[in-house]
Structure 1
Amino acid sequence: MRQRDRRKRRVETRESRDRWMITYADLITLLLIFFVILYAMSSLDTDKYNIVTGSLSETFKSGSTVLEGGDGILDAGKSTENKPESTDGDGNAAATAGPNDGSAEQTENKTPSVRELAFREQETKFAELMGVITNYVEENNLEEQIFVADKPQGIEITLSDRFLFDIGKADLKSPALPALQQLSGLFSDIGAKISIEGHTDNTPVSSASHYNDNWELSGARALSVLRFFLDREGLNPDNFQYAGYADTQPTADNTTAAGQQKNRRVEIIVLRQLQEGDIQSRD
């Protein structure tokens, strides 16, 4: 009897000691399955994946949820088959929109919004503006005085200070007037806000200057260009804004004479933003 008890205890002890191997084997199996799934996903056919995800999406959309008292996802097909047809006022069966009734095609080919149409029209005008100014600059050999670039914020027209002003002054020079007149004709129907921004290098103004510092000088130069458009050309003041930035926004190295020359400039930026009047006029 004692020998049987001892034998039984040994068997139980051995089983309890080896029980961890079962857990370990399960873990290894799960890891193997996990890596197999990862490999399968890495080489998944995109078309088949889209089909499967689309099918699951439709199932989730059509199935009633358990929380709402429905039958759940598995019975979604049954609930769809047994769903009664809707009827119109005369008791006739009414047509029910299905997934292939053309609604998806209508969504893809929907009419562009008013804002989108206005944006497209503005981009067309911007492209024309770039072309006209570029041709004008090339025809009049002004490549060293006027620079045009299409930036994210809008069309940026950079005019050199020596093209517009004498040193330390903010009065427009007469040779610059034809170019500004050309720009004013383009701005009259552009339908965008125009920002005029003055910049200087880091050299302090001379003691004989009418301006206390570069802030006043840069602002006065931007204002002179603005006044030309408003007073001489009669453009709408609601479409303009101006600012002076002194030497806070250099585009070149101020330690060289060439860099300082590039930093002394006036930028006219036709901003990429729609005005409310442009959108409302289409409604």
Structure 2
Amino acid sequence: MSELKQVIIVRRRKNRGSGHHGGAWKVAYADFVTAMMAFFLVMWLVGAGTKQQRAAISEYFRNPSMTQGQSTMAPSGRTGPGGASTSMIKLGGAMNLPTGPGKESAFAPPSAEEAEKLAKEKEKKRLEQLMKDLNEAIAKSQAMAPFRDQLLLDITSEGLRIQIVDKQNRPMFDMGSGALKSYTVQILHELAGFVNQVPNQISISGHTDSAPYVRADSQYGNWELSADRANAARRTLTDGGMQAAKVARVVGLAASVPFDKNDPSAAINRRISIVVMTEQAARAALSSELVSAPRALPSVPVLHPAEPGHAGAGVPAAPASHAAEVSTRESAAPPPAPPRAPI
């Protein structure tokens, strides 16, 4: 009888749960990301800290104990050189990091000077943008095309200045009058909408040339004419939709500020100047400090003639003959000259 052989079957289970290379790459990638984050954090701290802080951090890693180290610069929180800092670590992140010597946090509220500087820069950009918009509108407008050479724009210390100047054959006003031409009204109505785009206040000034202007009453000249024209421009801007409260100043300057200094009688000197003022210029124009407080004139003692028998009488009265002489001179004074005829 043959001997039976025992058959042994070995079954091997294949591990199908893990992919290629298993999950070890995830651990390596996580370590890499952690290392890079730490590296960039160190670089940020080095760039954000001051020279004194970097020296203190360097000395801390060389000598983390509380004993005195060899650093030539004292770390934050200690008065002596070297050694670890005894102050608590602030956990506020960048809110607690100074940006430089003598400065507070980068996120600390700006000082009054810094805030004023930022406001001026913002205002300057706003006026420059308004000037750009105006130039583009003038270039595209068919209605204003004939008057492009009479509109002059520039930035001054007071703000954005818009000047509407006369030309020899195209005046803005009627001759010797404050009445505006129809095209001048159209120009000012167009400008009113742009002036409303910014919160700045405006100043309007009228200018004439050096030619003398005299009316029959002899009390009306270039000063009055320039002021009337500036005020007429103000009314027209308001009619065009500009807010009336934006006007801070309306002045007439006659021929005192010529555009063409070499030729004071040139037509270009007859102009209207509209300045979109900066906040500082507006404050100066409206400041009560520019107007001195009214002061009473010194009292002048009234001298009366001495009365007979009155002790301590004032200056004695003038003799009768002297009074008569004064009266004769006054009555003989020539009459005033008649007013000049208008030119």
TM-score clears 0.5: yes
Does 1:129 find its partner at 2:130? yes
79, 88, 97: which one aligns with 1:94:
88
Residue 80 of structure 2 corresponds to which residue in structure 1? Answer: 80
1:201 Cα offset (Å)? 1.0
Structure 1 residue runs without a partner (length 5+): 1-53, 59-74, 87-92, 277-283
Can you give the 5+ residue segments of structure 2 that lack an aligned partner in the other structure?
1-50, 56-71, 284-343
Contact 1:197 1:244 in 2 (8 A): yes
Q: Deviations over 1:189-216 (max 9, x none)?
A: 3111211011111111143599711110
Asked if the contact 1:160/1:265 (under 8 Å) is kept, the reply is yes
2:235 alignment counterpart: 227
- Structure 2 Cα separation of the partners of residues 223 and 210 of structure 1: 21
RMSD: 3.8
Report the CA distance between 1:172 and its aligned residue.
1.5
Match of 1:260 among 235, 242, 266: 266
Q: For residues 238-278 of structure 1, give each alpha carbon's deviation from its aligned partner in whole angstroms, at most 9, with x where no partner exists.
A: 4432111111111214647xx521111110011122679xx
Mapped to 2, the partners of 1:170 and 1:239 lie a distance apart of: 19
- The 3-state SS of whatever aligns with 2:266 is helix
User: Per the alignment, do residues 204 and 181 of structure 1 end up closer, same or farther by CA in structure 2, a change over 3 Å counting?
Assistant: same
Deviations along 1:134-181, whole A, 9 cap, x unmatched? Answer: 123334132321111122321111102454211211111111222211
- Select 1:187's aligned residue among 195, 204, 209: 195
Secondary structure at 1:103 match in 2:
coil
Q: Report Cα offsets for 1:219-252 as digits up to 9, x if no partner.
A: 1100001112234525132443211111111121
Could you say which residue in structure 1 is the equivalent of 2:173? 165
Aligned to 1:156: 161
Instruction: Give distance in 2, aligned partners of 1:76 and 1:223.
Output: 68
1:164–1:209 Cα change, 3 Å: farther
What is the match of residue 99 of structure 2?
A: 104
Query: TM-score by structure 1 length?
Result: 0.56
- Alpha carbons of 1:177 and 1:79: their partners in 2 closer, same or farther (altered >3 Å)? closer
State the alpha-carbon separation in 2 of the partners of residues 232 and 136 from structure 1: 16
CA distance in 2, matches of 1:252, 1:181: 27
Aligned mates of 2:136, 2:90 — CA distance in 1: 59
* Partners of 1:146 and 1:238 in 2: CA distance: 21
Q: Is 1:164–1:172's contact at 8 Å kept on the other side of the alignment? A: yes
State which of 143, 146, 152 in structure 2 corresponds to 1:141. 146
CA distance in 2, matches of 1:169, 1:210: 15
Q: For 1:202 and 1:267, how far apart are their aligned partners in 2? A: 17
Give the equivalent residue in structure 2 for 1:243.
Answer: 251
Deviations along 1:52-105, one digit per CA (max 9) or x if unpaired, are xx89xx9xxxxxxxxxxxxxxxx996942599976xxxxxx62389xxx83126
Query: What letter is aligned with 2:89?
Result: A
Contact 2:205 2:273 in 1 (8 A): yes
Q: What secondary structure is seen at the aligned counterpart in 1 of 2:139?
A: helix
Tell me which protein shows more helix as a share of its residues. 1
Identity %: 24
Q: Any conservation in 2 of the 1:253–1:260 contact (CA below 8 Å)?
A: no
Q: Secondary structure at the match of 2:204?
A: strand
Aligned to 2:26: none
Contact 2:195–2:242 (8 Å) recurs in 1: no
Q: Secondary structure at the match of 2:146?
A: coil
- Bigger Rg, which one: 2
SS at match of 2:250: strand
Between 1 and 2, higher relative CO (CA 8 Å, sep ≥ 6) is seen in 1
Amino acid at match of 2:197: D
Is the Cα contact below 8 Å between 1:192 and 1:239 reproduced in 2? no
